[in-house]
Amino acid sequence: MELEGRGAGGVAGGPAAGPGRSPGESALLDGWLQRGVGRGASGGEAGACRPPVRQDPDSGPDYEALPAGATVTTHMVAGAVAGILEHCVMYPIDCVKTRMQSLQPDPAARYRNVLEALWRIIRTEGLWRPMRGLNVTATGAGPAHALYFACYEKLKKTLSDVIHPGGNSHIANGAAGCVATLLHDAAMNPAEVVKQRMQMYNSPYHRVTDCVRAVWQNEGAGAFYRSYTTQLTMNVPFQAIHFMTYEFLQEHFNPQRRYNPSSHVLSGACAGAVAAAATTPLDVCKTLLNTQESLALNSNITGHITGMASAFRTVYQVGGVTAYFRGVQARVIYQIPSTAIAWSVYEFFKYLITKRQEERRAAK
């Protein structure tokens, strides 16, 4: 077999043969040969490695072309870092989104747009008010995104090998994203409940522990998962659209799947915007279930809103059809940089960790 960009004698002459080859390149080639690159469809584990792509001798190794690929641990570490950074950087906008989705907001919390809302919150409630609840969000985002990306990468490869061997399957991408969402939301939902209650205008909670204690004592442990089914109903289509759009755009902007920061940022931003706009009505209902907004409760029903159908009915009774799209501007504005940050940080750490692992192997 002749490897592209290595010369005709690359394999026949062994790893050390061939003019102009550095010791590091020889070691990487030796690793590819030992792992069975180019065995054919019947050789080796499906999806265990990919043939090397043509690249300049001076360029760094492409993580998608590296022989062993990224490990589950790599996906989890990169995913955890990406999730924490994504939520921390965009948290003030998330606070605005939660308030703008309120069905019957206090007159002092009626905002025209995202910037005006952020300015008024800071001016009237303090500089750090938009950051209240950030600690519980960061705590939940780490494990949630670690499970999310690790599950997605594993299932994407497994399903793609079944549906479209040797290629990329959009069906596999969407299905992997849906399953990964089950794990992500199971870990993240309690943090979402606490976070959104602390974000609301005139929230009585100043500390995470106060909010957790009050919810547990007054509403029971089930309150932390009251919105779980609605969260899944929203996030399953959201993530299916998100991952399919991201992978589709990567095929066009980055067909060789190299580490390309600009393509990751652009693809992530577009994927987040499309998915966010399409699933805003479900996000409004999720916010109502999490916050149990008192004015909406008093105006329409007695007791707690406990299900997706009840949340949809309450939203319509209070604000009509337009209420389903409250906060759509803030949601899209939040998701564009949010998913751009998540994908670019994830791909960077995935590339960096895998590259370091291969360099250590090659040095041995």
pLDDT confidence of residue 296 = 58
What is the number of structural domains in the chain?
1
Of the candidates 63, 65, 39, the residue with the CA atom closest to the CA atom of residue 51: 65
Evaluate if residue 35 carries a pLDDT over 80.
no
* Non-local CB neighbours of 266 within 8 Å, separated by 6+ positions: 249, 253, 340
Task: Give the residue, 153 or 59, on which the prediction is more confident.
Answer: 153
In a domain, 37, yes or no: no
pLDDT in tens, 292-345: 776 555 655 456 777 788 888 888 888 889 989 988 988 999 899 999 999 999
In a domain, 354, yes or no: yes
- Is pTM beyond 0.85? Reply is no
Domain hosting residue 292, numbered range: 72-363
Please state, for a pLDDT cut of 70, what percent of the chain lies above it: 78
Please state at what angle helix 261-278 crosses helix 228-253, rounded to 10 degrees: 140
Q: How far apart are CA 292 and CA 322, in angstroms?
A: 20
pLDDT confidence of residue 155 = 92
pLDDT in tens, 144-162: 999 999 999 999 989 988 8
Of the candidates 228, 200, 202, the residue with the CA atom closest to the CA atom of residue 100: 200
Evaluate if residue 354 carries a pLDDT over 60.
yes
In a domain, 346, yes or no: yes
In a domain, 150, yes or no: yes
In a domain, 27, yes or no: no
Q: How far apart are CA 37 and CA 31, in angstroms?
A: 9
pLDDT in tens, 240-297: 889 889 989 999 998 888 889 999 999 999 999 999 998 999 888 888 888 877 655 5
pLDDT confidence of residue 292 = 78
In a domain, 36, yes or no: no
The CATH number given to whatever domain includes residue 356 is 1.50.40.10
Q: What is the mean pLDDT of the chain?
A: 80
Q: How far apart are CA 324 and CA 315, in angstroms?
A: 7
Average pLDDT over residues 35-45: 40
Evaluate if residue 50 carries a pLDDT over 50.
no
Evaluate if residue 167 carries a pLDDT over 70.
yes
Rg (CA), the chain: 24
Evaluate if residue 133 carries a pLDDT over 50.
yes
In a domain, 316, yes or no: yes
pLDDT confidence of residue 199 = 94
In a domain, 175, yes or no: yes
